[in-house]
Every structure is written in structure tokens, then in C-alpha cells.
Structure 1
Amino acid sequence: MSNFIRKLNQLKPFRDLNEQEFSWVLYDVGNSAYTMLACSLIPIWFKADAIGVGPGKISSDNATAYWALATSVVTIVVALIGPVCGVLADHKDTKKFVFSTSLAIGIIACILNGFVSSWFLFLFVYIVTKIAYQASLTFYDSMLNDVTTEERSDVVSSYGYAWGYLGSCIPFLIALVAYIVGGGLSKDFMLFSPQVGKIIGFGVTAIWWLIVTIPLLKNYQQKYYVQDTKGSVRKVFQKIFGSLKRIAKEDKKVLYFLIAFFLYIDGVGTIIDNCINLGTDLGLDTVGQVVFLLLTQVVAFGGSLVFARLSRNHSTVSLMKVCIVGYTVVCIYALSLQSLWQFAVMAFGVGCFQGSIQSLSRSYYAKIIPNENGGEYFGIYDIFAKGASFLGSFVIFVVKKIGLLTGGVFEIGSFTFKSINVAIACLALFFILGYIFLGKSDKERRINN
């Protein structure tokens, strides 16, 4: 196994990464497989188990409501425990342990999800898996300063997202085939039961997640930490609130960035979540949704690599601004969508900037925070990342509700637009405000330096 990983590291795309950097990048390849499954097949499997008539079954509307509730529970729990986990991880020689623990819980729960037939237990195990997965990402992101230098963080972070997008397609395609031959699309293709297809889908994802993480577990060494190793839970929370107070009063570059990040990453997430709804309105079926998902993954891979190369000669902030402007254009372009080929153009645009804006945000934040408090600060970062998800969705909800009063359309002058198109166009405001606050963060950083 180690010889194979070493040979893989020597291939041209990875040759400029050292052993620790390459091991770190591989975890993005692992966790992205679960991300891909969670936003595609897992909701389908849940509804297949839940919807029906008779004991233990619920209506389609109830299934959608419970799924939304589960997502909210994950968001709230992760937002609460993220900073606490981050503070604990900042102590000497603890980051690998807490990372390994969350990883183990996530992988075991992922496997169990395939064997559960009750929709309620399915949802419970999914929540456990997602919380453990998100916790592992907090520790993983804070490892960036340990595995590379400030000068190389943009490249390494971009490589993580790039190869994560591409690598996740491998287990996903296996899971997709298992879903299809398990009768997911038609009984004509059925070779085994849907339950077996579900077991294979979750199992392949979990095994992939584990195998590509082994190099990081083996090679990672914590370089930065705090000396204080004692403290009650109360002291942990006091430290977190103390850090938030210090950021608000004294560290404007971090404060302005977190505000900017909250705004534009909300727009990014909302566009990704609602592109499927937009495609469905244009006649996109289940197969088309999967093709769209794969298209954005492949394009995001290429986009992340391009920005990784550009980061060697251009500042992180300037490249982030390019991504924000790109997303603003995508939002405005959404107004004109009337056909599937136009939707494909939009999907291509989303893919170009999706991984880049996330990877550059991660590396820029790593540069402006104290190295020894990386876990704590990335816990705060996760609060802004997870907490942002509600704002854009609320805008979509409000615009759609207003649209219902006007027959689902808006008339602006001589032009008529569907409500979902207008809703996505409104998200441009998030990117414009994010652009402004990012500029303020960069200005504060240059003044302090």
C-alpha cells in the first residue's frame, strides 16, 4: 500500500507535492466521495425507504420535511461543537487523535447506513455520519498550516479540492451502477434488490474514504499547538468567546474576511442546492441531474487546477475576487435561462469557480490566523460556513412565495422571468457585498503587515 502511494506521489500531477502535502490532499479525495453521495443518492434512498402507505411509512411531503429537519440538526450541532473540537485539537499531539476518532465514527456509520431499512434509523445514522464527517473537516482544514508553508498553501489547498472533485467520481460511479442495477431507475435493469444496491453504495464510499486517508494518518505530524493542556468545558467556551471578542475588536482582517466568507459562500451553496430545482423546471430528469452533478465535478477539477497554477504568480485575494465576480455573472446569467443547453452553460460556469473559491478561502484564512490556534479558528470558520446556508435559501423561499402570487413569473418591463430565475439572480447581492468585505480584509492585512 505504501509503495503504491509513493509511486502515485511521483506521477507528474503530484510531483511538486511533498509527502505530507500529498497525504493531506488525498483526504480531500476521500471525504469528497461521501459529499458526492450525500447530495445525490442518499436523499433518493431515504425517500425510497420512507414514502409509502401502511405502517412505518410517511407521505412525500413529510419525507421532505424530515430530511430538511435532519439537515438543520446537522448544521446546528456542527456549529456548536466545531469551535469546541477546534480548541481541543490545538493542544499538543491531540489533533491526529480527534481527527482519527471523528473519521472512524463517520466511516462506521456510513457502512451501517446501508444496512438500515427503517427510515427513522436511516435518518439517525445519516445525522451521525454527517456530524462526524463535518467534524473531521474542521480538524483537516486546520492541518493545512502543519503540512505546508504559507507560500504554498494556495497551491496545496487548490490541489485538495481539484483531486477531491475528480477522485470522488470513481466510488460515485460504482454506487450509481449499484443503484441502477438494484432497480433504481427501472425494473428492466434489476440484477439484485435495492437493499443490496444501497449496501454496495455506502460500502464502496466508506472503503474509499478509509483507504485514501491512511497516508495522512501515517504521515501527519502536528507542528503548531498551544502549551496549555488543562481546562474544563467552561474554560473552553470562555476561550472561544474570548477569541470572538478579540477578533471583533482587534483583528479586523479576520473579522472582515469572516463576514465576506459568510456572504459569498452562502451564495455558492445556495446556487449549488438550487441548480437542480432550476434544471427540473427546464425538464431535467433524474439521469440529467446526475449528468449535471458529474459535469460540475469534472469542470471544478479543471478550474481548481487552473487557479492553483495562477496562485503562483497572483495574490490569493485577487484570484478570490475573480471567482466572486464570476459567480456574480452566473447569477445574472440565470435570468436568461430558458433551455437545457443554457442550463449546461450555467453548470459549466459554476464548476469553473466552485472549487477555486472554496480552496482559496481556506488557504487565505489559514494565512491570517495564528498557527498555534488553527483548530479553534477553523472551528469559528465552520460556524460561518455552516451558518451561512440558511440566508440564501430564505431568499429563494421569499422570491418563490411572491412568485406564487403572480403565477410563478415576474414581469420586468417587456421581459418575463420565472421566479426561480429571479431568485438566483438576487443572490448576486451576496457576492457584491462579499467582494466589498474581502477588499476591507485585504486592506487591514496589508496595513498590519
Structure 2
Amino acid sequence: MTREERSWILQDFGNSAYSIAITTALLPVFYKTYAAKGLNPTDATAFWGYANSFATALIVILAPILGNLADYKGYKKKFFNFFVILAILSTAALSFIGENQWRLALFIYIITVLGSTGASIFYDAFLTDVTTDEKMDMISSQGFGFGYLGGTVGFGLSMGLILLAPSIGMPASLATKIAFVITAVWWLVFTIPFFKNIEQKYWLEGKPPKAAKVFQKLAGTFREIFQDRNLLLFFLAYFFYIDGVHTIISMATPIAIDLKLGLTETELLMILLVIQLVAFPFAILYGWLSKRLGSRIMIMVGILTYVGIAIFGLFLDTRLDFMILAFLVATAQGGIQALSRSFFGKLIPKTKSAEYFGVFNIFGKISSIFGPLLMGVVTQVTGNIQYGILSLGILFVLGLAFFLKVRSVPSNLSGGPAPDTV
């Protein structure tokens, strides 16, 4: 493994602590119980939802525009540096939020989402710079795998402090604020190798277009995608199956609560950590198997696993059932996301990686709207959340149907020999 590949993987090891602490576990609770303590609980939840929607809308608008600019020489690294520093500083700034300062909390949170998602786009785009087509599946899988491990260790440090706080007389709010700083420092430390060792190897010649021409160039990107049948089919497949993946991840806790399985908040948190630990080796296993079977086959294995998960959800009845469901999710979630990223990286022209990964990010974000909506409607109509889980199988079946038509060869935009064929 080269120094550049190791440095790229370490960035995932560092930034994954943010995903658990800020997006999933600590900040939502801190916001509800401390920053928005004086608000009506319904209003607090609504404002949190509005903030997430606004942040997502910003990314959907900015991602392809910034991607168009970043592919010119030297700009990809500059954009990554800006967004990752913005994310790290704003994560640390969460520690300055006082009681009932919910407006400040939401403002800083939106900045962290903007920074972390922007950094992720350019981080993904650097995959084509740090490794070869032949190694791309393995490196992408190791990024996801070690990301799960790093997120667990980084979040574990924060949880250790929070659990220790009562015994040393530290208020829970102060312990959580320190945890925000720990998360930011953890991310910064494992970003240093990226700063030092990774540079853009593929770029477009000339200067970035002026503002008026960015949208014209962006329109050209979408025309190229629609004219490339293979790439378009991949986008359609990815749109459906990744929507199902994200929905199951985001709805796991509400599912457990609504089914009244008797799991405490602590037990749910422990299951979340176990999922991260199980996902670590399985993400790497997906990368290893892709060398032997091809990434196309392994993505299909991941999709079929999720079809099985959707069907199994119909029979959820006990705590053990939920734990089995969580284990099955952990076996597939890292692998399918990692190989989707590397499969896409081999379909696109390397000189336009930031531009195309910006569009890739849009599909991932927009698709996340429909899965929760589908599940919510089916659950309300049937009065049974298990039918809601089963309905997600439609997304995976549609994703598989489109993916079966995708050839695992580079598109006519990139040229070159096929890295893995079926």
C-alpha cells in the first residue's frame, strides 16, 4: 500500500467520529435536552428537521458547482482543505453553545454539515488520484472499513468521558461539549497525513470558468451523463438502492422503539457501536472478494442482502430478531457503499472526478427523501411498521433491475481497458 493510499484511508478513520457523534448520537440529544430546553419539544424537533433539510438543499446546489471548479489544477486540494477545516472548526465551536441557545446550535450545526459533506465530496474525488483502477475497490473498502473502526474508537473516547462525568461531578452538558472538541481534534489528527501526502494527479487544463459559465458547463456534464447509457443506468440503480440503505440506517432506532421490543436507550447505543465494529471487517471482506469475483457481483450481493433484510423485517418480534437484523445490516452497509464509490470511480474520466462525484453526491442526497417517505406512507396506511420495512424491498429490487443492465467496464467518457468484467 502506498503512502497516498494510507493517508486517504486515515482521513476516513478520522472523519467517521463526526458521523456518529454529531449526526447520530450526541448532538441530537444535546440539542433537545440542553440547547432547545426552553422550546416546545414538537417545535424543537421541527426546527431540527428544517435545519437538516436546509443543509441538504445547500449541498445539492453547491456540490456540482464546486465540483466543476475543483477539477482544474490545484483546486481540488484547496477545496478539500477549506471544507475539512470548516467542518473541524465548526464541530469544535459546538462546545460554545449555551443553554437555550437553539438558534446558535442550529446555525453551527448547518455549518458542520456543509463542511463535512463538502469535504466528503472532494475526499471521494481524490480516490482516482491516490490509487489505480485495479486497486480502487480494495482501497475504497478499506476506507469504509477503517472508517467504522475509527468512528467507534473516536466516539468511544467521547462516550467514556460522558459515562465518567457523574462520578467526578462534571455536568453532562459540559462533558458533551468536551466530547465535541474531542471529535474535532480526532478528525484533525488523522487529516494531517492527507494534508502532507496527497496531491491532485489528474486535472483539466486552463483556468476555472467564470460564474456565468459554470452553469453552462454543469449542463454539459448532465448531457454527458444522459448520453452515456451505462453511466445513466448506474445512476438510476444507485438512486434506488442507496435510498434503501440510507433509510434503514436512519430509521433503525425509530423502528426498535415503535416495535416495543424492550430495548433501552443504552442498549440501542450499544447495538449502534456493535454495528460499527461488525461493519469494519465486512467492508474489507467486500473489497477482498471484489478482487476475485468483481465489484459488480459484490454490489449485487449487497443489494440482495438488503432485499433479505426488508423481508426479514416483516417478522421482527423480539430483541433477538432486532439484533439479527442489525447484524445483517452491518455485514452489507459498508461494502455496498464502498464498492459503489469505487465502481463509479472507474466509470468516470479521472480529469473530471470532482465534477462527477459532485453529481454522485446529489443522487445520494436527493434519493434519501423517498425511502423515509415510502416507509412512512405504507406504515400509516397499514398501521404496521413491519409492512413499512418490507416496502423498502421495492427500492432494492428496482436498484437491482437497473444494475443488472450496467456493464462493469469504463464508460466511453474515460476509455481504457475494463478493470473487472463479468
| TM bracket (short chain) | over 0.9
Q: Does 1:100 align with 2:81?
A: yes
Instruction: State the Cα deviation string for residues 120-162 of structure 1 (Å, max 9, x = none).
Output: 1011101101111000000000000100000000000000000
What is the deviation of 1:179?
A: 2.7
Within the candidate set 28, 41, 47, 2:26 is matched to 41
Within the candidate set 238, 242, 245, 2:220 is matched to 242
Q: Does 1:195 align with 2:157?
A: no
Give the alignment of 1:362-373 within 5 angstroms.
362-373=341-352
What is the RMSD of the two structures over their aligned residues, measured on CA atoms? 1.5
Letter in 2 for 1:162: G
Change in Cα spacing, 1:89 to 1:445, as seen in structure 2 (3 Å) is closer
Higher mean C-alpha deviation, range 371-380 or range 430-439: 430-439
Q: Does 1:279 align with 2:256?
A: yes
Give the alignment of 1:157-168 within 5 angstroms.
157-168=140-151
Q: Does 1:254 align with 2:237?
A: no
Instruction: State the Cα deviation string for residues 368-392 of structure 1 (Å, max 9, x = none).
Output: 0010000000000000011111100
- TM (norm. structure 2) is 0.94
Give the alignment of 1:177-256 within 5 angstroms.
177-182=160-165, 189=167, 191-248=169-226, 250-256=227-233
Q: Does 1:329 align with 2:313?
A: no
Question: Which whole-Å CA distance do the structure 1 matches of 2:35 and 2:5 have between them?
Answer: 43
Within the candidate set 122, 147, 160, 1:139 is matched to 122
Alignment correspondent of 1:315: 294
What is the deviation of 1:443?
A: 6.9
Q: Is the contact made by 2:239 and 2:364 (CA closer than 8 Å) also made in structure 1?
A: yes
Alignment correspondent of 2:387: 422
Alignment correspondent of 1:6: none
Alignment correspondent of 1:402: 381
Alignment correspondent of 2:69: 88
Question: Which whole-Å CA distance do the structure 1 matches of 2:391 and 2:15 have between them?
Answer: 31
Question: Which whole-Å CA distance do the structure 2 matches of 1:169 and 1:289 have between them?
Answer: 15
Q: Is the contact made by 1:225 and 1:372 (CA closer than 8 Å) also made in structure 2?
A: yes
Letter in 2 for 1:420: I
Instruction: State the Cα deviation string for residues 311-357 of structure 1 (Å, max 9, x = none).
Output: 21111111000000000000100000000111000000000000000
Alignment correspondent of 1:7: none
Q: Does 1:348 align with 2:327?
A: yes
Question: Which whole-Å CA distance do the structure 2 matches of 1:444 and 1:303 have between them?
Answer: 25
Alignment correspondent of 1:414: none
Letter in 2 for 1:433: L
What is the deviation of 1:302?
A: 1.4
Q: Is the contact made by 1:50 and 1:63 (CA closer than 8 Å) also made in structure 2?
A: no
What is the deviation of 1:51?
A: 4.5
Instruction: State the Cα deviation string for residues 275-314 of structure 1 (Å, max 9, x = none).
Output: 1112123222210121111111011101111112112111
Change in Cα spacing, 1:230 to 1:297, as seen in structure 2 (3 Å) is closer
What is the deviation of 1:64?
A: 1.1
Any unmatched runs of 5+ in structure 2? none
Question: Which whole-Å CA distance do the structure 1 matches of 2:334 and 2:171 have between them?
Answer: 36
Alignment correspondent of 2:279: 300
Alignment correspondent of 2:244: 267
Alignment correspondent of 1:411: none
Any unmatched runs of 5+ in structure 1? 1-16, 184-188, 409-418
Alignment correspondent of 2:46: 65
Instruction: State the Cα deviation string for residues 29-88 of structure 1 (Å, max 9, x = none).
Output: 111110011211110001012454xxxx21111111111111111111111101111111
Q: Is the contact made by 1:169 and 1:294 (CA closer than 8 Å) also made in structure 2?
A: yes
Within the candidate set 66, 69, 93, 1:112 is matched to 93
- TM (norm. structure 1) is 0.88
Q: Does 1:439 align with 2:420?
A: no
Q: Is the contact made by 2:256 and 2:263 (CA closer than 8 Å) also made in structure 1?
A: yes
Letter in 2 for 1:95: K
Instruction: State the Cα deviation string for residues 369-424 of structure 1 (Å, max 9, x = none).
Output: 01000000000000001111110010122123214xxxx3xxxxxxxxxx111101
Residue 229 of structure 1: SS of its match in structure 2?
coil
Question: Which whole-Å CA distance do the structure 1 matches of 2:212 and 2:378 have between them?
Answer: 42
Alignment correspondent of 1:4: none
Letter in 1 for 2:394: L
Alignment correspondent of 1:383: 362
Alignment correspondent of 1:19: 3
Q: How many residues align?
A: 409
Residue 40 of structure 1: SS of its match in structure 2?
helix
Letter in 1 for 2:77: K
What is the deviation of 1:444?
A: 7.7
Residue 440 of structure 1: SS of its match in structure 2?
coil
Alignment correspondent of 2:14: 30
Q: Is the contact made by 1:92 and 1:227 (CA closer than 8 Å) also made in structure 2?
A: yes
